[in-house]
Amino acid sequence: MDSIKLMEKLFDTKIIKILKLFINNESEKYYLREIAKLTETSPASTYRILNKLVELKIISLHKNKTSKLYTLESNKNTDFFKTILRTEKHAIDLFIQKAKKIEEIKTILIHGRQDSKRANLLLIGENIPQGDVKRITADIKEKYDFTITTLQLQREQFEQMSAMGLYSGKKKVLFNR
């Protein structure tokens, strides 16, 4: 059982859903009804939970003349929740954990910009079974609503393309055999 599922069993699922919404969309501002709809929680429960989270300085409330918008605070409390609840980290970690079992994959790199809903991974190796990789990415898409786009290359192809400047953007090695 992963840490998110364990937390949902220990704590109120509604609170976890609301926290995950804000953590996975840090810069977004939401109205109460919008939060209720996105988390499939009743507006009354959402209101109660939001008040508690505002009181704990996890979420901030921005009042206009006619509306109230909620955003994620930036402090050490929210940093703690980010490490536990952030979907992108869990999804990428799960992909690496499963991809390690595929012997043909020698290196996994994250390439370019990633956000809370998608990441681009380069898989370096010989004769990587596409079906296995597609199953892993489909499972992650279904489980976490996180899209992992992969490109499979041989080591020589990757080095030639890098030399040509085709992979000049930000790269980070996530796994190396």
Contacts of 139 (CB under 8 A, 6+ apart): 98
End position of a domain, from candidates 85, 117, 138:
85
Residue 7: give the domain boundaries: 3-85
Render pLDDT for 46-65 as a digit per residue (tens, 0 to 9): 999 999 999 989 999 999 88
Same domain, 10 and 30: yes
pLDDT of residue 118: 85
d(CA 93, CA 46): 30
d(CA 68, CA 72): 14
Query: pLDDT digit string (tens) for 83-139?
Result: 777 665 678 888 999 999 999 999 999 887 777 678 899 999 999 999 999 999 999
- Residues present in the chain in total: 177
Q: How many separate domains does the chain show?
A: 2
66: CATH = 1.10.10.10
CA 160, CA 162: separation in Å to the nearest integer?
Answer: 5
Q: Report which DSSP code applies to 68.
A: E
Structure tokens, 39: 């988390």
- The reply to whether 20 and 70 lie within a common domain is yes
Between 77 and 123, the more confident residue is 123
Q: Cα–Cα distances in Å, from 114 out to 41, 45, 70, 139?
A: 29, 33, 24, 19
The two tokens of residue 37 are 């709809």
